[in-house]
């Protein structure tokens, strides 16, 4: 197996034996080694989040199992929209962090993987680099890059998905932190562990980028870098009907929904008002008073200017009521489901 540096110089690597896999990280990024005699399970678990919400919305402690890992690296929503992502971004690596700051974007830390590298006006969302991905013990335990490297009694598809998502995520960070100044920005925003230093990070990036067939091995979402959130919202409306909230819900209150959707109506009314004023002046002239076509257009626009705003306002109010009804039904269903769980736990206790 061989790779290439950025200068084009060939780099030879030793082929992994059958049943082994190429681990893209070393312990130096976290400043620990196995020679310190630390308990591996306890050390690895300390690199995970403390808790998570399970399928019943109960707060559960994080454990060393692939389900918890898959929740941390979940890209299912973006995977379902992959054929549309060319409308939301370009198939290039993301720009480095110093460039994001230069563009005036606030770097907002989010722990949800499918929000990583989404941007909107003045903001870009970045998922902090979880320490467990920098621990060499994580990779053979939870992920595999080939079927031969997987244990036969483990869900290979799940382990393969974890590998591809984790490898693509590391690739995105190799692009975000290209210079030492980028590492300074990442540490300031608490995007990487404080133990990460520039020299080990530089070696890690070279090792990662020399991976053979890197683009084929990582999750296809990371073939794209930054994705425009506004366009993802519109794509979600088309690709996943009947959703009306888009990819990321923008309205926490009904008055915000009404303000956003009525704002453009005010601008449209101003344009129609200007057109009606111009037609009124035209009708006062001798030449246009006898023009049948102009008279018909003026009549049609007058009727439209009266009917259309009322129809649009009615539609917006109707949608707001539908949103209220759906949210109310969901709230009632979740209330009943949660209290059934509470009653069941009380009965067991």
pLDDT, tens only, 97-109: 999 999 999 999 9
Let me know: does 188 contact 101? Beta carbons within 8 Å: no
How far apart, in whole angstroms, are the C-alpha atoms of residue 131 and residue 46? 9
How far apart are alpha carbons 144 and 190 in whole angstroms?
A: 29
pLDDT grade for 146, boundaries at 50, 70 and 90: low
> Residues 6 or more apart from 55 whose CB is under 8 A from it?
none
Give the pLDDT score at 39: 76
Residues in the chain: 349
Q: Which of 143, 128, 168 is nearest to 69 (CA)?
A: 143
Buried b (16+ CB within 10 A) or exposed e, 241-251: eeeeebbbeeb
Does the pLDDT value for residue 95 go beyond 80? yes
- Return the minimum-mean-pLDDT range out of 4-18, 33-47, 250-264: 4-18
Least Cα distance to 146 among 157, 133, 130 occurs for 157
Q: Which is nearest to 72 in space by CA: 93, 47, 99?
A: 47
> pLDDT higher for 264 or 229?
229
Residues 6 or more apart whose CB falls under 8 angstroms from that of 94 comprise 117, 172, 175, 176, 225, 226
Beta carbons of 164 and 217 less than 8 angstroms apart: yes
Give the pLDDT mean for 131-159: 74
Q: Which of 58-72, 120-134, 302-316 ranks highest by mean pLDDT?
A: 120-134
Note whether 313 and 265 are within 8 A (CB).
Answer: yes
Within 10 A of 218 (CB to CB), how many other CB atoms are there?
A: 23
User: Which spans in the chain are helix H?
Assistant: 40-45, 66-72, 76-80, 97-102, 138-142, 156-176, 180-188, 198-209, 214-217, 229-239, 254-283, 286-289, 292-348
Nearest one of 172, 213, 216, 146 to 2, comparing CA atoms: 213
Query: What integer pLDDT is reported at residue 87 of this predicted model?
Result: 94
Q: What is the value of pTM for the model shown?
A: 0.75
Whole-angstrom Cα distance, residue 85 to residue 245? 18
The pLDDT of residue 241 is 65
Closest CA to 131 of 186, 191, 41: 191
């Amino acid at each position: 197996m061989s790779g290439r540096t950025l200068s084009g110089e060939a780099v030879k690597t030793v082929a992994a034996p059958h049943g082994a896999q190429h681990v893209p990280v070393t312990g130096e990024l976290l400043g620990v080694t196995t020679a310190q005699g630390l308990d591996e399970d306890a050390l690895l678990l300390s690199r995970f989040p403390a808790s998570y919400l399970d399928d019943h919305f109960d707060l559960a402690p994080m454990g060393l199992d692939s389900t918890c890992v898959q929740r941390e690296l979940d890209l299912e929503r973006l995977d379902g929209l992959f054929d549309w992502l060319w409308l939301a971004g370009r198939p290039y690596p993301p720009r480095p962090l110093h460039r994001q700051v230069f563009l005036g974007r606030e770097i907002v830390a989010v722990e949800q993987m499918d929000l990583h590298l989404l941007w909107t006006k003045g903001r870009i969302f970045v998922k902090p680099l979880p320490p467990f991905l920098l621990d060499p013990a994580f990779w053979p335990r939870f992920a595999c890059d080939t079927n031969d490297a997987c244990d036969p009694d483990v869900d290979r598809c799940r382990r393969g998905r974890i590998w591809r998502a984790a490898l693509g995520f590391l690739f995105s960070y190799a692009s975000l932190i290209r210079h030492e100044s980028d590492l300074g920005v990442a540490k300031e925003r608490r995007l990487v562990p404080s133990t990460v230093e520039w020299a080990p990070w530089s070696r890690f990036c070279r090792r990662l980028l020399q991976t053979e067939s890197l683009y084929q091995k990582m999750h296809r979402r990371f073939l794209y870098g930054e994705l425009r959130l506004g366009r993802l919202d519109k794509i979600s409306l088309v690709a996943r009907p009947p959703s009306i909230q888009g990819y990321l819900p923008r309205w926490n209150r009904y008055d915000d929904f009404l303000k956003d959707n009525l704002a453009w109506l005010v601008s449209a009314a101003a344009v129609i008002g200007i057109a009606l004023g111009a037609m009124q002046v035209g009708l006062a002239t001798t030449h246009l008073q006898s023009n049948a076509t102009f008279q018909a257009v003026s009549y049609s626009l007058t009727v439209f200017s009266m009917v259309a705003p009322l129809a649009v306002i009615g539609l917006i109010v109707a949608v707001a009521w539908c949103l209220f009804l759906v949210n109310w039904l969901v709230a009632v269903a979740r209330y009943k489901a949660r209290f059934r769980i509470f009653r069941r736990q009380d009965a067991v206790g």
